[in-house]
Amino acid sequence: MTGMNAIGSGDLKPIEYSPNPVASTKAYERYKSLYRSNDPRHKALVKRANDEFRAKAYTGTIHTDSALANISLQYGNGAYIGEMLMPRVDVGDGNLSGIYYVHDKRSRLAYPDDELGARGSPNELNQAVSTATYSCKWYGYKEYVDQMTISAQDAPLNALADATQNLAEAIAFRRELRIATVMTTTGNYSGNTVALAAGARWDVAGGDPIGAIQAARSAIWSGRGPGKLVGFTSLDVANVLMRHAAFLDIFKYNSSGLVPISAVANWLGLDEIVVSEARKDTANTGQTASYSRIWPTNFFGIVRVATSPSIRNAAFGYTFHAGPPSTAQWFDQTLGPKGGYYARNAVCEDHKVVAGDAGYLITTVIG
């Protein structure tokens, strides 16, 4: 072929991407000339170039992993029930401590003779009013996010937003721990508590949850203001109740399957039963995680919960809250190569039992 023998092996190069369109076109034309040649040497060179090109194509990096912007993994805790049992009462920003009035129980439960003669003098009544105190404490956290992390993050990551959300979650978690301790301490119930004997527990033959809960309900004191009776228990106990023969026997006339916990509440005269499912890690930092429930396993309680703050009312307890959460974000340029942001969240509160006999706690309810 005329001119083909003049093409040397040095002209045989695989076509590669070049930002220069002129260079890329010249390389392609040289390659095309060799490909059309009948010279065996040129055909061998074309084959070798193709083999090298394929080897580079399949052994090199042909895909770079990128982060999905519409999915990521993060576990969430079970629902917190603490403030459903000790609802929040705002005492005003900065009022870390104070008093509230307590009306004597007996003043509404016993009265002298009210019979009045024509010239008699009515018996005089007296009401005893005392005070009780609350004392709020500050609880809070801060978290740091460096500027380099913020600059390098890809969607869906938002390190500063994640830090802010994590602070709120941490405070809610610690609040749940505090309220769980208050609600499952027998000494907070003014004597309204019982520990079931082994033969009376609800997961053995002869156990009578209906009788035990009715007895507890009848011992609870009430108030004049708005409120509701709320049962609270662990997931383990709730599962026992939902499959207990006594409730299944009632339920079978209406439906089939396990008994919903809402039906158990209704039959027992409770407004609702809330079930604790939240978990905690009890291992020390650096050790293998050890998970358990935040609330103890073996209890069933009932409390009268105020549905709104009111005077002359009786409810088991409140979470006194001194103003809204204190939140802030600020930049600290002295840390790291480019500085970073701090986020802070703090609350001021007190979990206070105000009427222990407006509740009842049953312990060791299952084996």
The enclosing domain of 346 has a CATH number of: 3.90.1690.10
Closest CA to 182 of 3, 1, 317: 317
In a domain, 65, yes or no: no
Same domain, 86 and 18: no
Average pLDDT for residues 116-130, to the nearest whole number? 93
Q: In the structure encoding, which two tokens stand for residue 275, read together?
A: 């079930």
Query: pLDDT of 284-328, one tens digit each?
Result: 999 999 999 999 999 999 999 999 988 989 999 999 999 999 999
Query: pLDDT of 334-367, one tens digit each?
Result: 999 999 999 999 999 999 999 999 999 999 999 9
In a domain, 353, yes or no: yes
Domain limits for position 35: 4-59
Average pLDDT, the chain: 88
Same domain, 291 and 332: yes
Q: What pTM was estimated for this model as a whole?
A: 0.79
Residue 271: pLDDT band with limits 50, 70, 90: very high
Total structural domains within the chain: 2
- Residue 256: predicted pLDDT: 66
In a domain, 220, yes or no: yes
Rounded to 5 degrees, φ, ψ at 156 are -95, 15
- Residue 255: predicted pLDDT: 67
Same domain, 86 and 55: no
Query: pLDDT of 66-93, one tens digit each?
Result: 778 888 888 889 999 999 999 999 999 9
Same domain, 291 and 342: yes
Count other Cβ atoms within 10 Å, centred on residue 21: 8
Same domain, 235 and 141: yes
Which region among 160-164, 226-230, 245-249, 338-342 has the lowest average model confidence (pLDDT)? 245-249
Residue 355 · residue 315 · CB < 8 Å: yes
Same domain, 134 and 50: no
Collapsed DSSP state (helix, strand, coil) of residue 181: helix
- Residue 9: predicted pLDDT: 47
- Residue 43: predicted pLDDT: 76
Collapsed DSSP state (helix, strand, coil) of residue 318: strand
For residue 6, what is the DSSP state? Answer: G
- Residue 328: predicted pLDDT: 95
